[in-house]
Amino acid sequence: QGRAQKYIVKNYFYYYLFKFSAALGEEVFYITFLPFIYWNIDHSVSRRMIIIWSIVMYIGQVSKDILKWPRPLSPPVVKLEMRTDAEYGMPSTHAMAATAISFSFLIATTNQYKYPFELGLVAAFVFSTLVCLSRLYTGMHTVLDVIGGALISAVLLVLLYPAWDTIDHLLLTSPFCPLLSIVVPLVLCYNYPKLDYYSPTRGDTTTILGAGAGATVGFWLNNQYAAPAYTSENFQLGFPLITSKMLAVMLARFFVGIFIVLLTRRLMKSVVLGMLGYRYKFPIGDLEARRRLEVEVPYKFITYSSVGFSATVLVPLLHGLLGLM
């Protein structure tokens, strides 16, 4: 573990296709796609996707560290990623995330927007399949890991779907929402399954739950103070009819939003890590100290809850000031 294997790429099309597909199940995708939906498509769709994504990913991450199924042996497989090699394999959380995001988007939009359901179904299937195949190509999962992840995600979607509207209503209106949105994820993170060696799963789980918590508080706050929602009337006639002006506004919202989100993440990482370093007396560059429970959980949770809150509250306010609503 930890040492990259040497390999020769014989088919660059597959290599770049599946390296790109693998990135669709990682933070760079979450931090761009989910906010894009919130800023440009529909608040209700984004809320449902973020809640489903948080629940599915938490269950997937915890399942890995309970089951403790090893990743494929190398050799015979060649592993193209090193960071996640320290994690267990079953289930594939890439497969779970891809299935949850693509099909929750399909379900949430199919009754609101006029587009062919078959087209949406094919797109969701292709998206999730590419991510699943990327995990086999990169040598990070077995076929069973991937199938297991996709099936678990599908079952969770079926079980949660009847409660979507109820959960959404409670998150927007309950006076206890902000408190529960912070306390419940923190309790889950501090009581994460313990392993005999360090794995990035706890930190990744805290990142996901933190982002979901910050976004949920933002949803509640926006609803309480009647923040103007992004109008989706322009999309009611179907996505293909987006005009060049609408596209320019969408891109402007996106780039402004991503700049603020990345700036928030950068600033909060520095501030929170500095405060924790001062509290627990360790240098900022001490990787081992940053992996300790009392450091890793607050560091990741505060940073990414700030990111989620920024994306749902600060960015829309800025969009309004810039005339991008």
| SS3 letters across 119-171 | HHHHHHHHHHHHHHHHHHHCCCCCHHHHHHHHHHHHHHHHHHHHHHHHHHHHH
pLDDT score, position 159: 92
Give the pLDDT band (50/70/90) at residue 235: very low
Summarised one tens digit per residue, pLDDT across range 76-111 is 666 666 665 567 778 888 888 888 888 988 888 887
- Residue 185 domain flag: no
pLDDT at 233: 44
Residue 303, pLDDT > 90, answer: yes
| Residue 205 belongs to some domain of the structure | yes
Is there a catalytic annotation at residue 141?
A: yes
151 and 225 assigned to the same domain: no
Query: Is residue 46 included in any domain, yes or no?
Result: yes
Q: Are residues 58 and 107 in the same domain?
A: yes
Q: Name the pLDDT band for 234 (thresholds 50, 70, 90).
A: very low
Name the domain count of the chain. 2
Is 169 among the catalytic positions? no
Least confidently predicted of 20-29, 183-192, 247-256: 20-29
pLDDT surpasses 50 at 203: yes
Residues 15 and 109 in one domain: yes
Domain assignment of residue 25, yes or no: yes
Listed ranges 13-17, 41-45, 233-237; the one with the highest mean pLDDT:
41-45
Question: Comparing 238-247, 258-267, 285-294, 302-311, which segment has the lowest mean pLDDT?
Answer: 238-247
Of the listed 43, 94, 169, 319, which one is catalytic? 94
Q: What integer pLDDT is reported at residue 78 of this predicted model? A: 63
With respect to residue 171, please indicate whether it lies within any of the assigned structural domains.
no
Q: Are residues 157 and 218 in the same domain?
A: no
Q: What is the rounded CA–CA span in Å between residue 190 and residue 271?
A: 21
For residue 166, is it within any domain?
Answer: no
User: Does one domain contain both 270 and 220?
Assistant: yes
Percent of the chain whose pLDDT exceeds 70: 86
What angle separates helix 43-67 from helix 143-160, to the nearest 10 degrees? 130
Same domain, 208 and 307: yes
| 238 — pLDDT class (breaks 50, 70, 90) | very low
Written as one string, the DSSP assignment of 215-258 is HHHHHHHHHHTTPPPPP-GGGTT-GGG--HHHHHHHHHHHHHHH
Q: Do 224 and 143 share a structural domain?
A: no
104 and 221 inside one domain: no
Tell me how many degrees the CA angle 27-28-34 measures, rounded to the nearest 5: 80
Q: Which domain does 112 fall in, by range?
A: 1-161
Position 1 scores a pLDDT of 45
* Res. 120: pLDDT tops 80: yes
Residues 15 and 147 both lie in one domain: yes
Instruction: Note whether 64 and 118 are same-domain residues.
Output: yes
- CA 139 to each of CA 142, 151, 247, 260: distance values in angstroms, whole numbers, following the listed order: 8, 20, 38, 35
Q: Mean per-residue pLDDT for 279-301?
A: 84
The structure's pTM equals: 0.81
Mean pLDDT taken over the chain:
82
